[in-house]
Amino acid sequence: MRALVTFVYLFLYAPIVLVVLFSFNSGRSASEFVGFSTIWYGKALGNTFLITALQNSLMIAFASAGLAAVFGTMAALGMERLGARTRAIFDGLFAAAIVVPGVVIGIATLVALVQVFSALNPALASVWPGDTPPQFGLGYGSIIAAHGLFSLALVTMIVKARIASLGRDIVEASSDLYATPFTTFREIVLPQILPSILAGFLLAFTFSFDDFIIAFFVAGSNTTLPIYVFASIRRGVTPEINAIATLVLAASLFLILIARTLMREKTTKAHAGE
């Protein structure tokens, strides 16, 4: 059993270790290590196309994660007021959104957006006072919407789990002391669930920043960092690509570590308070 577990871990993580190792290769080959050097990190950070793609990914990730955090929190709060059967239905829908393959989400989002744009653009042109009405199409907005909708389910499940652990006692006590619902939320509920909201935001940011499949379908002519890496790999794997992958891996692990730390600290405090 130990040998099987060891083999599985080696199969999963050995290629990642090799990518990190060959990112420090001083040669131009991605399969032959000839010496240690950080030259490819400098080349990657000096690549203007890469920097543009990185800026696009950061902007999209911040926007989609922010939308997911706001609307996911609202959805989690609303679901707590539903009946048991209705809540179970929504729980299943949110869980399904998380486990559905990315390629299915990408294709479905693309088809839905094309249908919406084909109906919206003629309607806008018919009422637009000028000769050149704006045209809605695939781009930054479509990527943000697709990532935000997917990440919303993730944030909702994280925040909902935290809300469920609070119980209704503190909310009812606040109502007994004549606090308004908004005051109760601002002074009691929000401070308790804020670490979970931040954790959901960071996980949503990580997903959006790393995503290739959904972005590939709805990006239009725009380029994100994963799309740039995919296009570069088609011309051959170089140590520069390994350096980019290593930087993305380090950033993703850092954000996930922060998210887990926030959730763990809040869980520890909750148990201590009990």
Q: Residue 33: what pLDDT?
A: 72
pLDDT for 270 beyond 60: no
Which residue type is seen at 64?
Answer: S
User: In which element (H, E) is residue 120 found?
Assistant: helix 102-127
The rounded percent of the chain whose pLDDT value lies above 90 is: 6
Task: Give the pLDDT confidence of 14-42 residue by residue, as tens digits.
Answer: 888 888 887 887 777 666 777 787 888 88
Q: What are phi and psi of 36, to 5 degrees?
A: -90, 130
* pLDDT class of 250 with cuts at 50, 70, 90: confident
- Domain at 56-273, CATH homologous superfamily: MetI-like (1.10.3720.10)
Task: Name 25's bridge partners.
Answer: 36
How much is the mean pLDDT over the chain?
82
Q: Residue 186: what pLDDT?
A: 77
Residue spans per domain, the chain: 56-273
Please check whether residue 193 is in contact with residue 75, taking contact to mean a CB–CB distance below 8 angstroms: no
CA distance 207 to 53: 16
Q: What is the DSSP string of 157-188?
A: HHHHHHHHHH-SHHHHHHHHTT--HHHHIIII
Task: Give the pLDDT confidence of 96-124 residue by residue, as tens digits.
Answer: 888 888 888 888 888 988 898 888 888 88
Please check whether residue 220 is in contact with residue 135, taking contact to mean a CB–CB distance below 8 angstroms: no
| pTM for the model | 0.79
The rounded percent of the chain whose pLDDT value lies above 70 is: 91
Tell whether the torsion through CA atoms of 228, 232, 233 and 237 is positive or negative.
negative
CA distance 241 to 228: 10
- Residues whose CB falls within 8 Å of the CB of residue 19, separated by 6 or more in sequence, listed in order: 242, 245, 246, 249
Task: Give the pLDDT confidence of 137-178 residue by residue, as tens digits.
Answer: 888 888 998 898 888 988 998 888 888 777 666 766 776 676
CA distance 245 to 261: 24
Task: Give the pLDDT confidence of 225-242 residue by residue, as tens digits.
Answer: 888 888 887 777 777 888
Q: Residue 127: what pLDDT?
A: 82
Q: Residue 39: what pLDDT?
A: 83
CA distance 135 to 114: 12
